[in-house]
Homo-oligomer: A and B are copies of this chain.
Amino acid sequence: MDKLHTLYTLIDLGGTFAFAVSGAAAAKQKGLDVLGILVVAFTVACGGGIIRDLCIGDIPPAGLSDWRYLVVSMTAALITIGITPLNRLLAGPVLLFDALGLSLFAVSGAEKALGFRHNYEVAILIGMVTAVGGGVIRDIFLNRIPAIFEKEIYASAALLGAIVVVAGNYLELPDAWVFPIGFLVCFLLRILALKYHWKLPSFSDKKN
């Protein structure tokens, strides 16, 4: 982890917090018990990162070996469970936290792959996988078609965020500029897509 600096860690833990909130809220809504909620929150928060670490060769995955990921995701889940009136306010914010996690992980995933000296294609694909992985696992657990395949612009936003990080690395721009720009590109695109229901085109021969 010392190949990567503090800003990276903050971004990765921020994404963990955001996705743990979204996972805990979804699991609570499904009526799971306390440990079920904690497990789903942890899996959503750390699942994308664990897939990332298996693919880039960081063994054991940071989500399992670094206590901060466990503490951050459990804290986020307990806050989400505990404060019921606050939870009622979270219907909108769940999508907000999801968008936050998406943008933070797109940046941190691409950056970590570059830090392990993999090529640009790996960095872009891993950035997207890290960002959308947790949400896909959440939807598979809750037995529905992963929302990323049907909803407003989602994976495309993560893809763009990861591309910004890789482009910044190629142009040797300082991370303190590149990371916020990558984050903002992904975050704003996702939020605007939610607000204005932007969708990519699909095809009319849908039968079922």
Contacts and interface: CB of A to CB of B under 8 A. Distances in A.
A115 B122 CA distance: 23
Q: Chain A: interface secondary structure?
A: helix
B149 A205 contact: no
A95 interface: no
A124 to B, nearest CB: 9
Given A36-B150, A57-B59, A208-B29, A144 B141 contact: no
Interface residues of A, number: 58
Interface string A69-91: 01000000000010010010000
Interface string A38-68: 0110000000001000111101110011010
23 contacts: A28-B205, A32-B149, A33-B200, A33-B202, A34-B200, A35-B153, A35-B156, A39-B155, A50-B55, A54-B54, A55-B61, A57-B59, A57-B60, A65-B119, A65-B122, A70-B121, A84-B205, A136-B141, A140-B141, A141-B149, A142-B145, A143-B143, A143-B145
